[in-house]
Amino acid sequence: MNIQTLKQSYINKNTQFVVFSIEGQLLGSCDTLFKVKMEKDTLFEEVPFLASMVEALFDMAEGEELTFPCIGEDLYGNEGYFDFVFNKQKYQGKEAMLWIIHDFSEHYEHLISLQQQRNESEIKGEFLETEKKNIQLENELLEYKNAELERLQQIKSRFFSNISHELRTPLNGIYGLANLIDGTGDKHKLKEYTEALNATVVHLTTMVNDILDHSKIEAGKITFVKEPFDLRATLRTVSNSFLFACREKGIDLQVNLSFDLPRVIVGDATKLSQILYNLLGNAVKFTDKGSIRLEVSLLSMQESCTELQFSISDTGIGIAKEKLEKIFAPYEQATDHTSRLFGGTGLGLNIVKQLVELQGGSIRVDSSLGHGTEFVLSIRYEGALKEKNPEPYVSSEASSSSDPTGKILIGEDDTLQQKMLHDLLLKWGYEVSTVGTGKQVMEVLANTELDVLLLDYHMPEMDGYQVASAIRASSESYAHIPIIILTGEQPTYTEGKFQELNIQSFVTKPVLPDELHKMIRRVLTDIQKDRKGRVLSMGKMEVDLSYLIDVMDGDMLKIKELVEIFLSSAPQQISKMHDLYDKKDWHSLQSLVHQSKSNYKYIGILSVGELLDELEQDLKKERNQEGYLSKIEQVEKATHQAVTHLKQMRWSS
């Protein structure tokens, strides 16, 4: 056998030649690998591979060759891997396709395991790579979390060591004060100690509440009530509680509520108070001069949602920029210098922030070191009742409750100025009535008890001068009412004219509110000083409190208490007098008269005192028996008058 035949026989057994026409008719096959059957119309329908290549094969040029390696197909029951070669050429004079099929199954099957290995290891590699990346990311995250956790832990433990110090200080104080109270018999000292004890307990309670609130919020256990509440009243209560502290420090507290605020809103009034107490408390704490302002306005109002904005600003020490960022963070503050200086948990602002945010709001802070701080926050409330005639509530330190109060009459013919003065005085907290003519002024004075008269100089009919003269000339009780003259003239000219009329003050128009306010306050304060020893005349009867005022050192509250005791006991004593008179028990009547006599003298109802003196003498000497009853009745009548009068008295310190 020669080499050519060897080669031939080797290639022969793995290769088949098939020839078919362009239309797919079988023209010849050597059938070495499989027997070509023609059960269908064309070869294309017999062999899926050919079916999918019809067009491509058609498109081939004559003599062109196409190779398809490694085709896995079932050829007439012969499954394996083949290489296909197509060659377009003439066969028996007609255009035909030579299809050469090489069976390389053995060779390719060997390749499968190699390719399988390659693919599997690459896929595995990919997964390892991704996993590695994930682990790396997770590690980084974990590291970050750990660092953060450690940082928090450190802050927390620092916080707790500070807080326990903060708590121990008042506790020590309480312990010490309790010992002092135990050991002292001095009443004065005792009062001092209990006051200090009270203040310490309040301070401690605030801190404990802060800590409790904070942990409640952290545990997500805080709840908000949804109840209607009077917005203005709540704001007033909060701001009023700072009036004293502000006055002590000599700073102004201004409250500004916008006109359109709803009267009643639905939400948690206590939480709102808590927020404002905290922020105003801070403002007072960190402000030594200037003012503190609380402003409240309406951001939006829909049927089911009312958004309010609160701004709390001060002219205090301010907060440094780098601290501003951390100001709402819990724990952080308690460790820094300011809180060391002022005490407290440093949780307050964090609680405020949480309370605001949990009520659908937001809070921000703006501050400039040395100039002041402003907190602006908004809260969403569910609903609101709108006020029909909203009245602005503007308050300032000046209208604090302990300022002198009073009834003021304005005599002014110009409607605009009338209105302006009226609103100003009302704003300052006085009771105000207005009239337009001098004649009306006289009428009102005759029927109403007033404290101050604000009188315009230029008025129709009777001018200010004429009115003032008439008042001073009268014999009525209003003859001495303090008068403030409003004038457009140079005060020197007017003053000269009014000299003999004892006019308290002159105010030049246009009126400067501050000046007027000061003047009214001064006049009212003077009146109150004058009350010391002032005699209240009531027709024939007089009440003279000067004795009590002297004895009580001008402490009006105490005087009031004594008067009240008198008011409740006097009618009882009189009815007892009637009883004893009916029983003709002259002895008991005499001692009762003696006893009550001094009460009337203390209170300063001198005429009754004298009457009782006479009655006592009569009883003693058993004379004028027929006059006993009429004297008792006179006492009764006078007492009734005095009681009515005293009950109407306005008490101010």
Partner 1 sequence: MNSKKVILLGKYGVGKTSLIRQFMHKEFSDAYLTTIGVKIEKKIVTTNEGPLAMIIWDIAGESSHRKIPPSYKLGSQGIIYVFDLSRLSTYEALDRELSDLKTLLPNVPISLVGNKKDLLNEKDLDTIAAKLPLVDVTFISARTGENVEKLFHDLALAMVR
- Contact positions vs partner 1 (CB under 8 A): 44-45, 48-49, 51-56, 66-73, 81, 108, 111-112, 115-116, 119-120, 122-123, 126-127, 130
Residue closer to partner 1, measured from CB, 116 or 139: 116
Closest contact distance (angstroms) between CB of 64 and partner 1 is: 12
By beta-carbon proximity to partner 1, the closer residue of 94 and 132 is 132
Measured from the CB atom, is 141 or 426 closer to partner 1? 141
User: Which of residues 15 and 209 has its CB atom nearest to partner 1 in the complex?
Assistant: 15
The rounded distance, in Å, linking the Cα atoms of 552 and 561 is 11
Q: How far apart are CA 442 and CA 521, in angstroms?
A: 23
Cβ nearer to partner 1, comparing 104 with 547: 104
Residue for token pair 């709108």: 386
Phi, psi of 109, rounded to the nearest 5 degrees: -60, -35
The burial class, CB within 10 Å (0-12 / 13-18 / 19+), for 185 is exposed
Say how far residue 607 (Cα) sits from the centre of its chain.
Answer: 58
d(CA 391, CA 387) in angstroms, rounded, equals 9
For residue 24, the minimal CB distance to partner 1 (Å) is 12
Q: How far is the CB of 88 from partner 1 (least distance, A)?
A: 14
Q: Please identify, using beta-carbon distances, which residue of 111 and 233 lies nearer to partner 1.
A: 111
Render 240-277 in DSSP notation, one character per residue: HHHHHHHHHHT-EEEEEE-TT--SEEEE-HHHHHHHHH
Q: Which is nearer to partner 1, 41 or 449 (CB)?
A: 41
Amino acid at 15: T
Query: C-beta of 60: minimal distance to partner 1 in Å?
Result: 10
Nearer to partner 1 among residue 122 and residue 218 (C-beta): 122
Compute the least distance from the CB of residue 140 to partner 1, in Å: 19
How remote is the C-alpha of 373 from its chain's centroid? 16
Give whichever of 116 and 161 is closer to partner 1, judged by the CB atom: 116
- Location of structure tokens 């003439």: 90
**Least distance in Å: CB of 81 to partner 1?**
6
Min CB(68)–partner 1 separation in Å: 5
What is the rounded CA–CA span in Å between residue 141 and residue 149?
12
* Between 82 and 286, CB nearer to partner 1: 82
Which residues neighbour 326 within 8 Å (Cβ) at sequence distance 6 or greater? 332, 333
Residue 127 CB, nearest approach to partner 1 (Å): 8
Closer by beta carbon to partner 1, 58 or else 259? 58
Q: How far apart are CA 257 and CA 298, in angstroms?
A: 9
**Preceding peptide of 330 cis, ω within 30°:** no
User: Least CB distance from residue 35 to partner 1, whole Å?
Assistant: 20
Nearer to partner 1, 38 or 479 (CB): 38
Q: How many Å apart are CA 283 and CA 373, to the nearest integer?
A: 8
- What minimum distance in Å lies between the beta carbon of 91 and partner 1? 22
Which H helix or E strand runs over 512? none
Answer whether 201's CB lies under 8 Å from 174's CB: yes
Distances (CA, A) of 517 to 24, 147, 421, 505: 117, 61, 11, 12
Cα–chain center distance at 250 = 25
Between residues 133 and 419, which has the closer beta carbon with respect to partner 1? 133
Q: Closer to partner 1 at the Cβ: 119 or 625?
A: 119
Q: Give a three-class secondary structure readout of 125-177.
A: HHHHHHHHHHHHHHHHHHHHHHHHHHHHHHHHHHHHHHHHHHHHHHHHHHHHH
- Alpha-carbon distance 22 to 44, whole Å? 10
CB of 17 vs partner 1, minimal distance in Å? 19
* Element at 538 (helix H, strand E): strand 535-538
Residues 238 and 212 sit within 8 Å (Cβ to Cβ):
no
Residues written for the chain = 653
CB of 30 to partner 1, least distance (A): 23
Q: Would you give the DSSP letter of residue 505?
A: E
User: How far apart are CB 359 and partner 1 at their closest, in Å?
Assistant: 31
Residue 258: phi, psi to the nearest 5? Answer: -75, 155
Q: What are phi and psi of 21, to 5 degrees?
A: -80, 170
Question: Is residue 471 helix, strand or coil?
Answer: helix
Cβ distance to partner 1 smaller for residue 130 or 146: 130
CA distance 116 to 91: 42
Residues 6+ apart with CB under 8 A from 385: 228, 262, 263, 264, 265
Q: How far is CA 243 from CA 183, 397, 402, 403, 528, in A?
A: 36, 6, 10, 11, 22
Using DSSP, state whether 31 is helix, strand or coil: coil
CB of 102 to partner 1, least distance (A): 13
Instruction: Output the smallest distance, CB 73 to partner 1, in A.
Output: 5
DSSP 587-607: HHHHHHHHHHHHHHHHHTBHH
